[in-house]
Amino acid sequence: MNIVVLVKQVPDSGSERKLDPADNTVARASADNVINEMDEYAIEEALTIKEAQGGEVTVLTVGPDGATDAIRKALSMGADKAVHVSDEAIHGSDASQISAVLAAALQQMEYDLVVCGAEATDSQMSVMPALLSERLGIPQLSGARKVTIDGGTAKVERQTDGGYWALEAPLPAIVSTWDTINEPRYPSFKGIMAAKKKPVETKTLADLGLDASAVGLANAATQVLDFAGRPPKGEGVKVTDEGDGAQKFVDFLASQKIV
């Protein structure tokens, strides 16, 4: 079983994140960058499947040179090797363009299963499985809280409001995972040391047979015109409960015509 895990490096969702006023793209260079939290669940799921069924787990990332940190994290958890697509021309690409790069990279790899996170915490789009399915013609089993690989068939419980949908499709397929699916392992000291020696292949657009005109800010099908910080909320009212807190709360609701 050859499994490819898609891993993205993102600005830490717990620290301040910014757009770069120079070109309205995510300010990645100045950010506190981490592996997309949701991708750790994808890695864990891939490793679990490999441990049960044999095979190899390859990490695939599209991102700037610094994204090697996210790759090392995935390798230290136990992935076998990595492919890192890095090219200046990719800067400012939108989700659709990134999917074209990932698709081109996947076409040069052997895979039975692609696993990715259910969403990237910077874009919060949750569209990569749909985009890749469309581009590669492989089935999309997205939003999984459970994955079972049964011979040549992938079975997924797609998480929904108040339940799930049972999905089934033939391999090769792409699956995305929510944080309800497993508990990602922590890299062991041995894992961290071993990761330093695992192969990371770096590829450019040219290596993928892609032209720079297929990617990048200037060629994106969407454009950020401007941005601003959310206007600060006006000072709210704060009361200390002295037996009358509930009353004051209900009075507030009444003043807002809610009760």
Ligand X SMILES: Nc1ncnc2c1ncn2[C@@H]1O[C@H](COP(=O)(O)O)[C@@H](O)[C@H]1O
Ligand Y SMILES: Cc1cc2nc3c(=O)[nH]c(=O)nc-3n(C[C@H](O)[C@H](O)[C@H](O)COP(=O)(O)OP(=O)(O)OC[C@H]3O[C@@H](n4cnc5c(N)ncnc54)[C@H](O)[C@@H]3O)c2cc1C
Region of 24-32, 47-55, 56-64, 143-151 interacting with ligand X (CB under 6 A): 56-64
Q: Whole-angstrom Cα distance, residue 25 to residue 23?
A: 6
Q: Whole-angstrom Cα distance, residue 189 to residue 135?
A: 39
Minimal distance, residue 202 CB to other proteins, in Å: 27
Q: Under a CB-based contact definition with an 8 Å cutoff, are residues 78 and 186 in contact? A: no
- Of residues 24, 48, 86, 126, which one binds ligand X by CB under 6 A? 126
Is residue 127 at the binding interface for ligand X, with CB under 6 A as the rule? Answer: yes
Name the residue among 134, 135, 133 with its Cα closest to residue 154.
133
144-203 binders of ligand Y (CB under 6 A): none
Name the residue among 143, 133, 141, 134 with its Cα closest to residue 169.
141
Name the residue among 230, 176, 224, 216 with its Cα closest to residue 17.
230
Helix H or strand E encompassing 39 = helix 37-53
Region of 122-130, 134-142, 229-237, 247-255 interacting with ligand X (CB under 6 A): 122-130
List the x/- string, 34-53, binding to ligand X by CB under 6 A. Answer: --x-xx--x-----------
Q: Which is nearer to other proteins, 206 or 250 (CB)?
A: 250
- Of residues 1, 25, 26, 37, which one binds ligand Y by CB under 6 A? 37
The residues that touch ligand X, with contacts defined as CB under 6 A, are: 6-8, 36, 38-39, 42, 60-63, 95, 98, 116-117, 119-120, 123, 125-128
